[in-house]
Amino acid sequence: MNKFAIIFVFTICLGSSLCSAGKVIYNFSYSGMSMYPAMSKGMYKVVTAEKSDVSIGDVICFNYDKRNYKTSCTRYKCHRIIDYTDDHVCTKGDNNPRYDQCVEWKYVALKVLI
């Protein structure tokens, strides 16, 4: 298997939080190499993502398992926004050779604070 074809995923269980500028800040544990060197295994801070709060270059987490999105404990993929429209957002892992399939905004849940 091509090492670049491996997709790393993780589970985020949202727990205790802080409040900053009207946003709830969550801690989560990330693992994988798709966002290296910007992100590597470790703890990161995230906030809930609204379409109006993100722009090209931001790192967002979206639920790629469309059967059960935006639950308190689910599987997300965190990648950088490369383009978006009113309906969809397109992302790419910094360390991935290919772009992701664009997803609907409703599957975008979190913005990574890096």
Question: Hey, what domains does the chain have and what are their CATH numbers?
Answer: 3-112 (2.10.109)
**Which helix (H) or strand (E) covers residue 78, if one does?**
strand 73-84
Digitized pLDDT (tens) for each residue of the chain, 114 residues in all:
444 333 334 444 444 444 445 678 888 888 889 999 999 998 899 998 889 989 999 999 998 766 555 555 567 899 999 999 999 999 999 999 999 989 999 889 899 998
Structure tokens that stand for 60 in this block: 């967002």
Residue 59 DSSP SS3: strand
Residue 112 DSSP SS3: strand
pTM equals 0.76
